[in-house]
Amino acid sequence: MSYERFEWLEIPEQQTEPAKKKTKPAEAVVGKRCPQCGWLDEETALQCFRCSYRYNIDHSMAERIGQLGITLPPRVIESNQNLENFFRAHGRTRPPEPLPIYQLRLQAEALRLSRGFDRLICLDEVAVEHYEHQLEAALRALREMRGRALLADEVGLGKTIEAGIIMKELIHRGLVRTVLVLTPASLTEQWREELHNKFHEDFTVMETPGAWRAVQAAESGRWIASLDRAKLTHHREAILAREYDLLIVDEAHKLKNRSTLAWKFVNQLRKRYVLMLTATPVQNDLMELYSLITILAPGQLGTVLAFRRHFLDSYDSRQPRNASSLRRLLNDVMIRNRRSKVNVQFPRRQAAIYHLELSEPEWTLYRQVTEYIRRRFNDADSTKHLRLTLLTLQKELSSSPQALAGTLRKMLADTGHSEGVRAELQRFIELAEAIPQSRKLGAVCEILERFPGKFLIFTEYRQTQESLLAELARRQIKATGFHGGLDIQQKEAAIALFRTPEQAGGARVLVSTESGAEGRNLQFCHQLINYDLPWNPMRVEQRIGRLHRLGQAHDVAIFNLSCNETIEAHVLDLLARKIRMFELVIGELDMILGNVEGAKSFEDLLREAWESAMSEDDLRQRIDALGDVLVRARRDYERVRTTNELLDLALDER
pLDDT in tens, 1-48: 458 899 999 887 655 443 333 333 333 334 556 677 565 555 556 665
CB contact at 8 A, 159 and 191: no
Q: How far apart are the C-alpha atoms of 367 and 386, rounded to whole Å?
A: 20
User: Within 67-131, where are the H helices?
Assistant: 83-89, 99-115
Alpha-helical segments (H) within 185-322: 188-199, 209-215, 227-230, 233-240, 261-268, 287-296, 304-311
Residues contacting residue 563 through CB under 8 Å, at least 6 positions apart:
356, 357, 358, 362, 366, 398, 439, 440, 569
- Residue 415, pLDDT > 90, answer no
Task: Walk across the sheet containing 148-151 and list its strands.
Answer: 204-205, 221-226, 178-183, 243-249, 270-277, 148-151, 334-335
Between 426 and 56, whose confidence is greater?
426
- Residues 249 and 119: their CA atoms lie apart, in Å, by 25
More confident residue, 182 or 216: 182
CB contact burial 595-618 (16+ within 10 A = b; e otherwise):
bbeeeebbbebbeebbeebeebee
How many alpha carbons lie under 13 Å from residue 101 in its C-beta half-sphere?
16
pLDDT at residue 354 greater than cutoff 60: yes
pLDDT of the residue at 56: 60
Confidence of residue 379 (pLDDT cuts 50, 70, 90): confident
Compute CA 409 distance to the chain's CA centroid, rounded to the nearest angstrom: 37
Buried b / exposed e across 194-210, counting CB within 10 Å, b at 16+? bbbebbebebeebbebe
Q: What is the dihedral of CA 577, 582, 585, 587, to 10 degrees?
A: 80
Mean pLDDT, the chain, rounded, equals 83
Q: What are phi and psi of 576, to 5 degrees?
A: -85, -35
What's the rounded Cα separation, in Å, for the pair 189 and 204? 10
Which bin fits 299, alpha (ψ -120 to 50), beta or left (φ > 0)? left
Stretch 272-281: mean pLDDT: 93
Q: pLDDT tens digits for 39-69?
A: 555 555 666 544 567 766 444 444 544 555 5
Q: How many C-beta atoms lie closer than 10 Å to residue 145's C-beta?
A: 21
pLDDT given for residue 80 in this prediction: 42
**Bigger pLDDT: 359 vs 21:** 359
Q: What is the pLDDT of residue 21?
A: 36
The pLDDT score that the predictor gives to residue 17 is 42
As beta bridge partners, residue 150 has 276, 334
pLDDT of residue 598: 65
Q: How confident is the model at residue 223 (pLDDT cuts 50, 70, 90)?
A: very high
- Percent of the chain's residues with pLDDT above 90: 43
603 Cβ neighbours under 8 A, 6+ residues apart? 535, 536
Q: How many Å from the N-terminal Cα to the C-terminal Cα in the chain?
A: 63
DSSP for 313-382? -SS-TTSBSSHHHHHHHHTTTEE---TTTSS-PPPPEEEEEEEE---HHHHHHHHHHHHHHHHHHT-TT-
pLDDT given at position 76: 37
Q: How far apart are CA 169 and CA 162, in angstroms?
A: 11
- 28: CB partners within 8 A, 6+ apart: none
| Cα separation, 579 vs 629, whole angstroms | 10
Q: Which distant-in-sequence residues (6+ apart) come within 8 Å of 391 by Cβ? A: 607, 610
pLDDT of residue 29: 39
Q: What is the mean pLDDT of residues 381-387?
A: 82
The edge-to-edge listing of strands for the beta sheet with 527-530 is 5-8, 349-356, 556-563, 527-530, 455-458, 509-512, 479-482
Q: In 37-125, at which residue ranges do the beta strands (DSSP E only) sit?
A: 40-41
| Cα–Cα distances in angstroms (integers) from residue 280 to residues 250, 356, 555, in the given order | 12, 40, 27
Averaged pLDDT for residues 362-377? 93
Q: Which of 547, 654, 584 is nearest to 279 (CA)?
A: 584
Residue of higher predicted confidence among 120 and 216: 120
Q: Whole-angstrom Cα distance, residue 241 to residue 222?
A: 16
Is it the case that residue 106 has pLDDT exceeding 60?
yes
